């Protein structure tokens, strides 16, 4: 009897559907897990009579076919967004969108939505679960520029050398403020000092002398340094003020040629701003109020913004861009192949990855300090489990009934 074999196909299909539901429930707390759905479809049909056309006074006749059971037509990955869980850990990342993290073992690339990362012994950001390295663009160590035009390869690791990387910032700008006494006699000198840093982070003192000119509303300035080469003249210029004591020549260039540079860039060049200096009747209080150079500092912490840009904080107070996390987009993300450990790989169904950074298209944004939870709907899975169980039971009854019919056939002779 065909019904026995038809019932068997129903049992097998419903058993596979239960397997899918069981896996969903088992991964209810798996970070970044995407639930699956089993879709049933009819198996082969046996044609007992084909359709016939009208003719000879008779109308058309529909085909007569006998179904041969059911089967699982597809197991679809449901790529909906999971809820975000706060962890407070900077290295935990959640994607709000359709993108995937790119991971590598230096020989191949993998994809994941599990954003639980940690630093390994080589200061690389790696997946805490698999140890695979997170891929992205490493910033230039001097300028902090991110080369997002470069292709991501299996060796495009993101390295964050906390406690190892040290940098210094040479002085590029010095600003002066306060007053020069308008009532001062010609030849009166006001001395000030400030400190600047060279490219190696070495501090150098710079002395600037302001001297009242014989011409009204003018002060000459001249720079010198105990570290300067005496054979090279120091920078100098003239400050000119209007009738209201406001400066009309606010910017100049400072250049200090070091007698012994120690390997640093020489001379030390910076911009001088006197925009905050006035010439009014009163005490001369002019002084340097800021300079943007910094001594050596060591990377002590880092943060990751919603575009995946990694910014480091150094012990000298400096901030520097360290890199940017890469994301992958797919035309058909449901076509990706699972390879275990919450990892996926591209397939002919998913199409090739488009490597972008966060906030590009539908790749989504990143949330640091969060993890994406499983998108399994437990209530829906329990409901599906009940329906599937009933389907399995009904198919088993078909087999039992068919067996009883065969038994009746065998007892006809009696």
pLDDT above 90 coverage of the chain, percent: 85
CATH annotation of 171-292: 2.60.98.20
Which tens digit of pLDDT belongs to each residue from 261-280?
Answer: 999 999 999 999 999 999 99
Residue 67's pLDDT is 84
Task: Assess whether pLDDT exceeds 70 at residue 414.
Answer: no
Place of tokens 């006998």: 66
Q: Which residues pair with 210 in a beta bridge?
A: 190, 221
Domain coordinates of the chain in residue numbers? Answer: 2-48+65-79+375-410, 85-167+297-369, 171-292
- In the chain, the N- to C-terminal Cα span, in Å, equals 21
Task: Assess whether pLDDT exceeds 90 at residue 387.
Answer: yes
Which tens digit of pLDDT belongs to each residue from 164-215?
Answer: 999 999 999 999 999 999 999 999 999 999 999 999 999 999 999 999 999 9
- Between the CA of residue 4 and those of 66, 334, 390, 396, 399, what are the distances in Å? 14, 35, 18, 9, 5
Q: Say whether 349 sits in a helix, a strand or coil.
A: coil
Q: How far apart are CA 136 and CA 126, in angstroms?
A: 12
Question: Is-contact 112 346, C-beta < 8 A?
Answer: no
What is the mean pLDDT of the segment spanning 284-300?
95
Residue 2's pLDDT is 85
Question: Is-contact 190 175, C-beta < 8 A?
Answer: no
Which tens digit of pLDDT belongs to each residue from 115-165?
Answer: 999 999 999 999 999 999 999 999 998 888 999 999 999 999 999 999 999
Q: Which residues pair with 178 in a beta bridge?
A: 277
Q: How far apart are CA 223 and CA 230, in angstroms?
A: 12
**Three-state secondary structure string covering the chain:** CHHHHHHHHHHHHHHHHHHHHHHHHHCCCCCCCCCEEEEEEECCEEEEECCECCECCECCECCEEEECCEEEEEEEECCCCCCEEECCCCCEEEEECCCEEEEECCCCEEEECCCEEEECCCCEEEECCCCCEEEEEECCCCCCCCCCCCCCCCCCECECCCCCCEEEECCCEEEEEEEEECCCCCCCEEEEEEEEECCCCCEEEEEEEEEECCCCCEEEEEEECCCECCCCCCCEEEEEECCCCEECCCEEEEEECECCCCCCCCCEEEEEEEEEEEEECCCCCCEEEEECCEEEEEEEEEEECCCCEEEEEECCCCEEEEEEEEEEECCCHHHCEEEECCEEECCCCCCCCEEEECCCHHHCEEEECEEECCCCCHHHHHHHHHHHHHHHHHHHHHHHHHHHHHHHHHCCCC
Residue 181's pLDDT is 97
Strands (E) across 43-188 are located at 45-49, 64-67, 70-77, 84-86, 93-96, 100-104, 109-112, 117-119, 125-127, 133-134, 136-138, 166-169, 173-181
In this structure, which long-range contacts are made by residues 219-224, counting pairs with CB atoms below 8 Å and at least 24 apart in sequence?
219/180, 219/279, 221/252, 223/254, 223/256
Q: Which residues pair with 102 in a beta bridge?
A: 111
Residue 1's pLDDT is 76
Tokens matching residue 92: 């935990």
Q: How far apart are CA 228 and CA 252, in angstroms?
A: 19
Q: Say whether 286 sits in a helix, a strand or coil.
A: coil
Phi and psi angles of residue 195, each rounded to the nearest 5 degrees, phi first: -120, 140
Residue 412's pLDDT is 84
């Amino acid at each position: 009897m065909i019904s026995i074999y038809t019932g068997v196909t129903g049992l097998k299909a419903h058993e596979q559907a239960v397997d899918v539901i069981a896996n969903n429930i088992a991964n209810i707390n798996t970070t970044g897990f995407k639930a699956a759905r089993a879709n049933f479809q009819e198996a082969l049909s046996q044609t007992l009579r084909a359709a016939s056309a009208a003719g000879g006074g008779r109308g058309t006749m529909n085909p007569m076919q006998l179904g041969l059971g059911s089967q699982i037509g597809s197991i679809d990955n449901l790529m909906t967004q999971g809820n975000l869980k706060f962890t407070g850990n900077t290295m935990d990342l959640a994607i709000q969108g359709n993108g995937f993290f790119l991971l590598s073992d230096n020989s191949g690339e993998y994809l994941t939505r599990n954003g639980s990362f940690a630093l390994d012994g080589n200061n690389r950001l790696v997946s805490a679960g698999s140890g695979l390295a997170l891929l992205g663009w490493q910033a230039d160590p001097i300028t902090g520029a991110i080369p997002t035009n470069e292709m991501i390869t299996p060796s495009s690791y993101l390295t964050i050398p906390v406690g190892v990387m040290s940098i210094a910032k040479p002085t590029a700008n010095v600003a002066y403020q306060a007053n020069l006494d308008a009532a001062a006699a010609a030849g009166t000198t006001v001395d000030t000092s400030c400190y600047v840093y060279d490219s190696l982070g070495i501090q150098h003192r710079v002395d600037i002398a302001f001297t009242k000119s014989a011409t009204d509303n003018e002060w000459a300035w001249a720079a010198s340094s105990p570290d300067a080469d005496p054979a090279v003249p120091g920078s100098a210029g003239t400050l000119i003020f209007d009738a209201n004591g406001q400066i009309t020549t606010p910017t100049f260039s400072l250049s200090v040629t070091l007698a012994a540079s120690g390997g640093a860039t020489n001379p030390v060049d910076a911009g001088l701003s006197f925009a905050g200096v006035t010439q009014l009747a009163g005490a001369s209080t002019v002084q340097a109020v800021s300079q943007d150079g910094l001594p050596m500092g060591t990377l002590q912490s880092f943060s990751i913004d919603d575009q995946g840009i990694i910014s480091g904080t150094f012990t000298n107070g400096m901030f520097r861009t360290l890199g940017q996390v890469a994301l992958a987009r797919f035309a058909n993300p449901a076509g990706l192949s699972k390879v275990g450990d919450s990892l996926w790989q591209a397939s002919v169904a998913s199409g090739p990855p488009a490597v972008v950074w966060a906030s590009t298209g539908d790749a989504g944004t990143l949330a640091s300090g969060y993890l994406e939870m499983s998108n399994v709907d437990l209530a829906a899975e329990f409901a599906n489990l009940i329906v599937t169980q009933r389907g399995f039971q009904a198919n088993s009854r078909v087999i039992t009934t068919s067996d009883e019919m065969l038994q009746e056939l065998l007892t006809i002779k009696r």
